Chains A and B, each alone.
Chain A
Amino acid sequence: MENLKIQNNKVLPAGEDLGGADKQEFNITVYTENQIGLLNRIAIIFTRRKINIDSLNTSPSEIDSIHRFNIVITESEEVVRKVCRQIEKQVEVLKVYYHTNADVIWQEMALYKVSTDVIAEQVSVERLLRENGARVVVLRKDYTVFETTGHREETDALINILQPYGLIEFVRSARVAIIKDSDGFNSKLREFERLEPGEDVIENEYLNQGQKVFTM
């Protein structure tokens, strides 16, 4: 952690108090072309500054051929802004946004595999499902798979509940996040798809100093 701080101070205008205290989780949303090698190109922008990627999700967006990355890191806003600009600079990146946890609705999905015998005998399944917002995905003689979706604490809570009853396997997805203030995102992307590339309309929105989400 010490090294990390020093490293970050180096890249920041010193004198601005941007130490560890200002670090918080940021959700970085990246729209990209679907291109081999791009994941690495984006990842090294973080690793170069010795920033750990806490969570990474990449999947096709609602627009054919455009992919969306959701990346979670813990950093100061100053560093996040610089990192985002360096990501946006990559040839195959269309847009980059960053948001605090308060700016997004986010979820992680988790799957839990337990022994059907034990769970049926010892647990009130109905109550467990209700209290944890979980559902059964698979029910077999030998095992059962529960699924729940929520914040980290919520998916953690169910681990704790199931642990005493012989949790066999657990897996949690990366975070996906929807941006609260994302009016017009979809239409912007449609524009990207439709417009001949290089149209300047979109470009400067990212550089605007306004308050809306399309700002960086």
Chain B
Amino acid sequence: MEVANETLKAPATQEKAVELTGSAALLEALIIEGVDTIFGYPGGAIMPIYDALYDYKEKLNHILVRHEQGGIHAGQGYARTSGKVGVVFATSGPGATNLVTGLADAQIDSTPLVCITGQVFAHLLGTDAFQETDVINITTPVTKWNYQVTDATEIPEVIAKAFYIAKSGRPGPVLIDITKNAQIQKFDYKGYVQCDHIRSYRPKPIVRQQYVQEAAALINQAKKPFILWGQGVILGSAEQEFKAFVEKSGIPSAWTILGAGAIPTDHPLNVGMLGMHGNYGPNVLTNDCDVLIAIGMRFDDRVTGRLDKYAKQAKVIHLDIDPAEIDKNVKSTVPVWGDCKETLPALTALVDKKEHTEWLKLFNEYTQKEVDAVIHDELNPTSGEMTMGEVIKQLNELTNGDAVIVSDVGQHQMVACRYAKLNKTRSNVTSGGLGTMGFALPAAIGAKFGAQDRDVVAIIGDGGFQMTLQELGTIMQTGINVKIIILNNRFLGMVRQWQELFNDRRYSFVDIQSPDFVMVAKGYGIEGKCINEREELVDALKTMMNHNGSYLLEVMVTKENNVFPMVPQGCSVSEIRLK
């Protein structure tokens, strides 16, 4: 399109206005924002945007998904591996409502997204027009910001705000609903100016030196300090700053599942995973430490267990960019609000260089207890059916910890998070806060588009895979290379585990049948194999990793295995069970 090319060459702000449609202005905006990939699905109310997209095919890679939920999860996967804003298109009505799960997931996991939905003509709003739904009100609780555009002249400014809000401060999803008339409307496009401030919006509080000093003083006096880190470290691109802080202070550090990988799995001060199915030491010793330093994490109930028995003996230092997180669940002694990219170096400068040898040894002793009671048998079974853990262990051998691991939700997710080796940041993509089954397959597609030079391995249960398996069609059509491991225990395993432990084995509707997944994959032109025997595992994983293109490996694992350790709901973290 002539107009498009002309404006692309022009500077972002130009003296001379060019006549553009709202749709073209939107796509111009995306290009200036550095968008290269869009996940979407067309429909009536967004047709003008798709018509304009036809002329931008060279510049914007649009991935046609098979369902809008798949589109938004792909956008999330893309954002998580690339660190950029994920962009999703959907039409009005059902297209828009299909985004809701992904929006809720992105909101609770702070994933930057800009979703564009088509909407009926402005004059039809409120008339129950075909495919009209009140998407703004439906999505208000699950977006960081949303806005309805009814006039094309608003588009450049609104899109600029959308990107700024999505990626700044604590990131989150933004939805822009554009009525069809605004998409078609021509207006004098005067260029696009990126947004760098909004009067009423303060993305991050400025760092208060006083609190940094108080925090450092507490840390320097501590005998048994303990660091908990979350995704904030990754979202703030503060991995180096974090590593420097950990290494100088010598403090044992444990991670939430969304924080995994910010420092490598085998870092000597990385003592493991927090939470309900986290490691033994980090859970028990939370109630033994004297200073608890929480960095970019929000004390989710799956991490804290019973709150009134959580770290009551400890002074709590909470570093977070979002003031609403301070004191929300756990009272802090010193709230160090701010971007951890700024607070961590300030803190590092003030803490003493130390080695907490005895204290670290205690963590290692707990690790050994956990290895003896749980991990060894999970990773090295010699008889019986395969375990989920041994699959992850063998996978680690092949990826060497360099792959992106995308997991779905349930037992396999906990096993993958516990045992996957991660050398790099932005390597663990999973649905944390919302626990969205069906997340992994589409998220893996997006993750691959966001990190094309990396191997992406999706680890999915037999239940979750059946929620979004239509996205195999997206893999087929794009030819993207995603490795899929289905850990099939023929059960909705996590619910079954709870029913076994807490409901007297009353297995209520957890016995799930599956189709022949390999044949399903074949139907989409994707190679695959199903294995039953331990002897086949290593070769099958090698075949999968070496295969040129996507590959589905179904591993039949033991049916009634439980994920341990476990902090039962309503119990304190120190009441964690090894069996």
Binding site for B on A (CB under 8 A): 11, 13-15, 32-33, 36-37, 40-41, 44, 48, 81-82, 85-86, 88-89, 91-94, 192, 196-198, 200, 203-204, 206-207
Give me 6 other A-B pairs in contact (C-beta within 8 A), A37-B147, A91-B200, A198-B202 excluded.
Answer: A14-B307, A32-B200, A85-B324, A94-B200, A203-B202, A204-B205
From A33, A37, A196, A206, give the contact of B146 (CB < 8 A).
Answer: A37
20 interchain pairs, CB-CB under 8 A: A13-B307, A13-B331, A14-B306, A15-B308, A32-B200, A36-B148, A37-B136, A37-B148, A41-B140, A44-B141, A82-B327, A85-B326, A91-B198, A91-B200, A197-B198, A197-B200, A198-B197, A203-B202, A204-B206, A207-B205
Give A44 to B146 CA distance when docked, in angstroms: 14
* A131 → chain B closest CB, angstroms: 46
Q: Are B324 and A13 in contact (CB under 8 A)?
A: no
Q: From B196, which residue of chain A is reached at the shortest CB distance?
A: A198
Q: From B199, which residue of chain A is reached at the shortest CB distance?
A: A197
Residues of chain B with a CB closer than 8 A to A82's CB:
324, 327-328
B330 interface contact, C-beta 8 A? yes
Residues of chain A with a CB closer than 8 A to B198's CB:
91, 197-198
Contact pattern, B 126-158, Cβ under 8 Å of A = 1, otherwise 0:
000000000011001100111110000000000
* B178 → chain A closest CB, angstroms: 15
Contact pattern, B 518-562, Cβ under 8 Å of A = 1, otherwise 0:
000000000000000000000000000000000000000000000
Residues of chain A with a CB closer than 8 A to B202's CB:
198, 200, 203
Residues of chain A with a CB closer than 8 A to B324's CB:
82, 85-86, 88-89
Residue among B145, B197, B200, B202 with max Cβ neighbours from chain A (10 Å): B200
Q: Are B323 and A89 in contact (CB under 8 A)?
A: yes
Q: From B330, which residue of chain A is reached at the shortest CB distance?
A: A13
Residues of chain A with a CB closer than 8 A to B200's CB:
32-33, 91-94, 197
* B387 → chain A closest CB, angstroms: 35
B569 interface contact, C-beta 8 A? no
* Contacts A13-B307, A15-B308, A204-B208; A91 near B201 (Cβ below 8 A): yes
Contact pattern, B 14-42, Cβ under 8 Å of A = 1, otherwise 0:
00000000000000000000000000000
Count residues of B near A (Cβ-Cβ below 8 Å): 33
Give A82 to B140 CA distance when docked, in angstroms: 19
Q: Are A196 and B197 in contact (CB under 8 A)?
A: yes
B363 interface contact, C-beta 8 A? no
Binding site for A on B (CB under 8 A): 136-137, 140-141, 144-148, 165, 197-202, 205-206, 208, 306-308, 312, 322-324, 326-331, 337
* B213 → chain A closest CB, angstroms: 14
Residues of chain A with a CB closer than 8 A to B148's CB:
36-37
Give A33 to B146 CA distance when docked, in angstroms: 14
Q: Which 10 A-B pairs have the closest CB atoms?
A: A197-B199, A15-B308, A14-B308, A198-B197, A85-B324, A94-B200, A197-B197, A91-B201, A200-B206, A91-B145
Q: From A92, which residue of chain B is reached at the shortest CB distance?
A: B200
Q: Are A192 and B308 in contact (CB under 8 A)?
A: no
From B140, B147, B306, B337, give the contact of A207 (CB < 8 A).
Answer: B337
* A11 → chain B closest CB, angstroms: 8
Give A196 to B200 CA distance when docked, in angstroms: 10
From A48, A89, A192, give the contact of B199 (CB < 8 A).
Answer: A192
* A94 → chain B closest CB, angstroms: 5
* B515 → chain A closest CB, angstroms: 39
Residues of chain B with a CB closer than 8 A to A36's CB:
148
Give A206 to B137 CA distance when docked, in angstroms: 29
Give A85 to B322 CA distance when docked, in angstroms: 9
Q: From B325, which residue of chain A is reached at the shortest CB distance?
A: A85
* B395 → chain A closest CB, angstroms: 38
Q: Are A37 and B206 in contact (CB under 8 A)?
A: no
* B356 → chain A closest CB, angstroms: 27
* Contacts A14-B307, A15-B307, A207-B337; A198 near B206 (Cβ below 8 A): no
Give A96 to B212 CA distance when docked, in angstroms: 25
Q: Are A40 and B137 in contact (CB under 8 A)?
A: yes
Q: From B328, which residue of chain A is reached at the shortest CB distance?
A: A82
Give A97 to B201 CA distance when docked, in angstroms: 16
* A98 → chain B closest CB, angstroms: 14
Residues of chain B with a CB closer than 8 A to A198's CB:
197-199, 201-202
Give A40 to B140 CA distance when docked, in angstroms: 8
* A100 → chain B closest CB, angstroms: 19
Q: From A33, which residue of chain B is reached at the shortest CB distance?
A: B200
Give A91 to B145 CA distance when docked, in angstroms: 7
From B136, B141, B144, B323, give the contact of A91 (CB < 8 A).
Answer: B144
Q: Are B137 and A37 in contact (CB under 8 A)?
A: yes
Residues of chain B with a CB closer than 8 A to A48's CB:
141
Q: From B337, which residue of chain A is reached at the shortest CB distance?
A: A207
Residues of chain B with a CB closer than 8 A to A207's CB:
205, 208, 323, 337
Q: Are A13 and B308 in contact (CB under 8 A)?
A: yes
Give A185 to B426 CA distance when docked, in angstroms: 44
